[in-house]
Structure 1
Amino acid sequence: MRISVELIPRGEAEVLADAATVRAALPAANTFNIPDLMRFPLRSWDACALARSVLPAAIPHIRAIDIPPGDEQALGDTVAAAGLTEVLVIKGDPPSDMSRHTYPNSSEAVIQRLKRHHPNLRVYAAFDPYRQGFRDELAEVDRKRDAGADGFFTQPLFDLRLLTICAEMLRGTEVFWGIAPVLGERSKAYWETTNRVVFPPDFSPTLEWNREFARAAVGLISSLAANVYFMPIKVNLAKYFDGLLDGNSA
């Protein structure tokens, strides 16, 4: 079982400090994944190259809409030169700064072109059970597989029943199941409004509820012989991770 933690690439010093905190508080972690965020100058693959000094594996996120058609080979070369062997390709949200140039790429198109130029690169795609109906989301899964996707990272889930249903849908596929702490009513409202999340009736936006859910989810994911990634946004890393998986079979 792989346990990945998502880091925010605020800067080189911040990435290294957060990576060290994760290693100390969550010894079971063996991978980092890092999004490519336009508000920061540090690119995801450069941040991953730094993070690999703390844990051996790191997976950069690639935003399809940022890649000029024909630049996939150069991007793959850059990723390989950083010592990285895996990437996660997402479509990407349009930038708030409309002067920033983006491209009408689908994630499937970028996955296909990356795999054509770099067949040994392991490429993951996104799975989100909240954004549309299951039938449409599974049709996207099939298109991404056909494009060459080797596995999937899911939108964070907050309900073990939904996780079980989705695991049946993705049976036979390598999956990193997402877990994210949601603390406070404003954060809960953001996830409901922006990400269309439906929280279970017993959900509470407290650190205690989120830690208990994480323990239960990791136990279930472990029984599925799958992987997990944590997205610890706006939370104290040490408080969230300290002792989190003590006694867990993962």
Structure 2
Amino acid sequence: MSLSRLSVELIPRSEDALAQDVTSVKTLFPAADTLNIPDLMRFPLRSWDAAALTMPQFGTVVPHVRAIDIAPGAPLPGSTLPGLKEVLVVHGDPPADLAHRTYPNSTESIIRRYRKEAPHLRIYAAFDPYRRAPWRELEDIARKKDAGAEGFFTQPVFDLKLFDLCREWLQDEQVFWGLSPVIGPRSRSYWETTNHVVFPRDFEPTLDANIQFAQSVLRQLSQDQGCAYLMPLRVKLDQYLPPLMDALTA
């Protein structure tokens, strides 16, 4: 068995940095068949523009779209981009720059717009097992499906027990399970305070421990042809990706 889909999330810091990262992924991690690109306000390069730049190099790219940034009647990001097949619609955090205008859109309203105005695109939505009570998150999942979402990207998971439980909750859905290394106390504190992650008692914020955890999840997903995405934050790609490639080819 093998994974059905495997993506790597790349931060669009600049055109040059993005091109270098794409080359690194192709070289270090040939198992990846997809890239997903978040839309981050602190960088000038928008995710759909980054997708346009990387598709000639890589092929399948999933840009993230922030629902709160889309003005009523404005064109939907990526809707006319040649070759684009998929987008991930997230709600979006309030911007740090108060001059950046946002709009009172729900994720579901933007998903509905994509379904109506860009029916050729496959729409993914987000699943976060940490931010609130699971029943509320699962109600949200149902609303996103009703609006037209055809799959989900999860917040990174850090606990095998929670991973197994979430797989039961999302059984029969197409889900890209997130994996991200947490290295050192500052990184752990970020996930705990910003994303409300509860780490297991035996969690170790070391590179080796995070690689072992990711290897275990990828092997489990390979057994039933699942999907995953890697979010290699604050680590060098050449340190994180090759050991995971080894786990997939073992």
Specify if TM > 0.5: yes
**Distance (Å, rounded) in 2 between the aligned partners of 1:238 and 1:94:** 33
The residue that corresponds to 2:154 in the other structure is 154
- Unaligned residue ranges in structure 1 (runs of 5+): none
> Contact 2:79–2:121 (CA<8 Å) still a contact in 1?
no
Q: How many residues align?
A: 247
**Map of 1:61-210 to 2, 5 A cutoff?**
61-71=64-74, 74-75=75-76, 78-210=78-210
1:39 is paired with a residue whose SS is: coil
2:44 is aligned with 1:41: yes
Amino acid at match of 1:15: L
Q: Which protein has greater RCO, CA pairs closer than 8 Å, 6+ apart?
A: 2
Tell me the alpha carbon deviations over residues 87-107 of structure 1, each in whole angstroms, 9 at most, x when there is no partner: 000000000111111001111
2:57 is paired with a residue whose SS is: coil
| 1:246–1:31 distance in 2 versus 1, CA, 3 Å | same
The residue that corresponds to 2:211 in the other structure is 211
1:113 is paired with a residue whose SS is: helix
1:243 is paired with a residue whose SS is: helix
- Unaligned residue ranges in structure 2 (runs of 5+): none
The residue that corresponds to 1:23 in the other structure is 26
**Distance (Å, rounded) in 1 between the aligned partners of 2:84 and 2:228:** 19
Amino acid at match of 2:162: L
The residue that corresponds to 2:9 in the other structure is 6
| 1:247–1:189 distance in 2 versus 1, CA, 3 Å | closer
**Distance (Å, rounded) in 2 between the aligned partners of 1:140 and 1:101:** 25
Amino acid at match of 2:241: F
> How well do the aligned residues superpose, as a CA RMSD in angstroms?
1.3
Percent of counterpart pairs with the same letter?
A: 53
**Distance (Å, rounded) in 2 between the aligned partners of 1:118 and 1:134:** 31
State the TM-score, normalizing by the size of structure 2. Answer: 0.95
**Distance (Å, rounded) in 1 between the aligned partners of 2:147 and 2:244:** 37
Tell me the alpha carbon deviations over residues 94-134 of structure 1, each in whole angstroms, 9 at most, x when there is no partner: 00111111001111110011111112210000000000111
